[in-house]
Structure 1
Amino acid sequence: MSATPDQRLARTFVALADTLVVGFDVLDFLAALTERSVELLEVDAASVILSDQRGGWRPAAGSSERADLVELFAVQARQGPCFDCVAEGRPVRSGDLATEAALRRWPRFAPAALDAGFRAASAVPMRLREQTVGALTLLKQAPVDPDDNTIAVGQALADVATIGILHNRAASRAELLAEELEATLRRRAVIEQAKGVLAEHGGVDMHEAFTALRRYAHDQERGLSEVARDLADGTVSPADVFARG
């Protein structure tokens, strides 16, 4: 018997909580968050941006590493519902990006999203008390305005992600929060390099390379960024990673 939506949601929170306790890796956690968001909220793609602690926002994870989606996720860190969401600290939604493009509300994001095949978008903030540290974006291929329940569940998932980023540290201390966010984004840069190495070696696209990297890290019970660093310094070879596939 297949699980009900409520059962899948409950299992997601249990899985995320388990990730916090055992072998926590924040980038792997965020990647899993976006994948579960796609599954549970019946959207076609999801991504996370984080504060770089210097007044800017940068992409940290996505449900796919497809090149056009990675480019779109980078654009949304500067414009679109995700950018508005972190600026205002509240959910932002649009049920028809074609209309937004015509009105030039988001002159860079809306055309890029349409070119990637998406017609609707929404974003919910990742908040620590009154401070917004990032956002979770949800994209749909159909022009459908997300309902209140989807936004509410998305917000709950974003709240869990915020707890995951802080990793049970003394979150009230702003300097620890800034340190963790900056470290997360530095690790993401290392992973981008590792993806390129694997893609070139294996003749695969970036999404397949990222999937192989995650699979190898899970199999070795190691952190995603740790394995990426080993690829960079030659401790682990691309052949080792693909052999685990």
Structure 2
Amino acid sequence: MIGMARERRLAEIFVEIADSLVEDFDVIDLLHRLCARCVELLDVSAAGILLVDAHGELQVIAASDEHTRLLELFALQHDQGPCVECYHTGVARTNIDLTRPQASVGWPRFALQARETGYVATHAIPLRLRNRVVGALNLFQTTPHHLADDDIALAQALADVATITILQQRTLERSHVENSQLENALTSRVLVEQVKGVLAERWDTSVDNAFDTFRSYARAHHLRLSDLAVQIIAGDFDTAAIPAPAPDRPGAQHD
């Protein structure tokens, strides 16, 4: 996506995000959409947002898809990978060639799994609130094309939007309020993860398919993913009300 077409699409996306930032909005769903927009705008194959938890470790909060191998790759970075370095230094790590051993010194397990999953390049962009880094945006490519400076600047802008989305406002004066919002976002993700597994087993389908169906139902009924997840886990919601998904198609892709 180049030139005026990308500029128009970018403007539409920022309007979409701004319209979503209403009181009591669904942070997890919005971050999933933001990851999908990264793939669309930046010509990358996958995107994920990792957020630091109370122990200083990075945890996956949203991804452009829910494929198990991709989520495992994000999760591996709680202790090694470009996102860990990006988080600790506050500096973006871009255009990392995963096919060159010298480019991934310090995180060999991550680089090996990334290559085995089909990725040849990766980027890590900091999620920043003023001078504090609260996580990272991770991008993956299956082709070795170079992301230009303008693309990296756009990636940083999208990462900044993700930070604003998570924290719900541009300036937070009290650190305990900020920490509470970070933890609430991570807790919401954990609840969604639990429900994905429950529904996949109940419907005898893949986790990806279960998540797509769960997310579509929540959207259609104007429910936050975390709120619906709480009801399902507590047994207060009859999952028979959600139309069961069609069987997975081999090789199907999930948005």
TM-score category by the smaller chain? over 0.9
Corresponding residue for residue 94 of structure 1: 95
| Contact 2:197-2:207 within 8 A present in 1 as well | yes
**C-alpha separation between the residues in 2 aligned to 1:212 and 1:101?**
42
| Contact 1:23-1:221 within 8 A present in 2 as well | no
Task: Tell me how far 1:78 sits from its aligned partner.
Answer: 2.1
Q: Structure 1: which 5+ runs fail to align?
A: none
* SS of corresponding position for 2:236: coil
**Structure 1's 145 and 45: CA in aligned 2 closer, same or farther, altered over 3 A?**
same
**Structure 1's 162 and 102: CA in aligned 2 closer, same or farther, altered over 3 A?**
closer
- Output aligned runs, 1:149-168, within 5 Å: 149-168=150-169
| Contact 1:82-1:137 within 8 A present in 2 as well | yes
Stretches of 4+ aligned residues off by more than 3 angstroms: 100-105
Task: Tell me how far 1:53 sits from its aligned partner.
Answer: 2.7
Write the letter of the residue equivalent to 1:196: G
**C-alpha separation between the residues in 2 aligned to 1:101 and 1:116?**
19
- Output aligned runs, 1:143-154, within 5 Å: 143-154=144-155
| Contact 2:61-2:186 within 8 A present in 1 as well | yes
Corresponding residue for residue 113 of structure 1: 114
Q: Percent identity over the alignment?
A: 42
| Contact 2:46-2:141 within 8 A present in 1 as well | yes
Q: Structure 2: which 5+ runs fail to align?
A: 247-255
**C-alpha separation between the residues in 1 aligned to 2:233 and 2:37?**
29
1:24 and 2:38 aligned: no
Corresponding residue for residue 226 of structure 1: 227
* 1:146-178 CA distance string (max 9 Å, x none): 221111001001111111111138612111110
1:178 and 2:179 aligned: yes
* 1:172-205 CA distance string (max 9 Å, x none): 2111110011111111111111000111112221
Corresponding residue for residue 215 of structure 2: 214
**C-alpha separation between the residues in 1 aligned to 2:170 and 2:98?**
39
Corresponding residue for residue 65 of structure 1: 66
Write the letter of the residue equivalent to 1:12: I
**C-alpha separation between the residues in 2 aligned to 1:101 and 1:202?**
45
| Contact 2:209-2:245 within 8 A present in 1 as well | no
| Contact 1:76-1:82 within 8 A present in 2 as well | yes
Write the letter of the residue equivalent to 1:33: L
RMSD: 1.9
**C-alpha separation between the residues in 2 aligned to 1:101 and 1:205?**
37
Corresponding residue for residue 35 of structure 1: 36
Write the letter of the residue equivalent to 2:123: S
* 1:9-39 CA distance string (max 9 Å, x none): 1111111111112651111111111111111
**C-alpha separation between the residues in 1 aligned to 2:92 and 2:167?**
21
**Structure 1's 122 and 171: CA in aligned 2 closer, same or farther, altered over 3 A?**
same
**C-alpha separation between the residues in 2 aligned to 1:171 and 1:27?**
20
Write the letter of the residue equivalent to 1:94: N
Corresponding residue for residue 14 of structure 1: 15
Corresponding residue for residue 240 of structure 2: 239
Task: Tell me how far 1:111 sits from its aligned partner.
Answer: 0.5
Number of aligned residues: 243
**C-alpha separation between the residues in 1 aligned to 2:88 and 2:63?**
20
1:45 and 2:50 aligned: no
**C-alpha separation between the residues in 1 aligned to 2:238 and 2:208?**
18
The TM-score, its normalising length taken from structure 1, stands at 0.93
* 1:36-87 CA distance string (max 9 Å, x none): 1111111100001101132221111111111111111101232211111111
Corresponding residue for residue 134 of structure 2: 133
